């Protein structure tokens, strides 16, 4: 397993334990994060301030506790790392948010400067609305 793969595994493990810093610390301050689809969270976020303000904070307000990600596959090619995973969490509305994902990370050194996130948009909409 290469270094980037281990950093992602460790970051998701810490996230499930309630510590977001190891994962969030991997992203460059100017990261471009794109979520595919037509959901309330789909679109492109420019920089960690935008990611935090328009994505992570609103999502955190909907979740009851931490998102737990199980990493199923990691595939590396040069500066790219694809991560397939499954997320499990509860919503504050009393439901669940259990989704499948594929993140494609583009690295520069030890920082991620671009990510494209694919997920089951129907699950997201069923859990959180439009």
Residue 1 has pLDDT above 80, yes or no: no
Measure the CA–CA gap between 96 and 88, rounded to whole angstroms: 7
pTM of the model: 0.93
pLDDT at 87: 96
- pLDDT at position 113, please? 97
Farthest CA pair distance, the chain: 42
Alpha-carbon torsion (43, 124, 49, 34), positive or negative: negative
What the chain holds in terms of domains, given with CATH numbers, is 3-128 (3.10.450.50)
Read off the pLDDT of residues 39-79 as tens digits, 9 standing for 90 and up. Answer: 999 999 999 999 999 999 999 999 998 889 999 999 999 99
pLDDT at 130 over 80: no
Query: What pLDDT shows up at residue 111?
Result: 97
108 φ/ψ angles, rounded to the nearest 5 degrees: -135, 105
Task: Summarize pLDDT for 92-123 with one digit per residue, the tens.
Answer: 999 999 999 999 999 999 999 999 999 999 99
């Amino acid at each position: 397993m290469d270094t980037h793969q281990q950093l992602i595994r460790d970051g998701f493990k810490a996230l499930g334990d309630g510590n977001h810093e190891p994962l969030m610390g991997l992203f460059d301050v100017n990261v471009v994060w794109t979520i595919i689809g037509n959901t309330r969270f789909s679109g492109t976020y420019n920089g960690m301030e935008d990611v935090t303000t328009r994505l992570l904070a609103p999502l955190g307000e909907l979740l009851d506790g931490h998102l737990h990600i199980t990493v199923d596959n990691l595939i590396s090619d040069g500066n790219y790392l694809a991560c397939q995973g499954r997320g499990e969490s509860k919503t504050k509305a009393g439901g669940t948010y259990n989704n499948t994902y594929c993140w494609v990370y583009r690295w520069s050194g030890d920082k991620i400067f671009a990510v494209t996130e694919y997920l089951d948009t129907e699950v997201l909409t069923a859990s959180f609305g439009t």
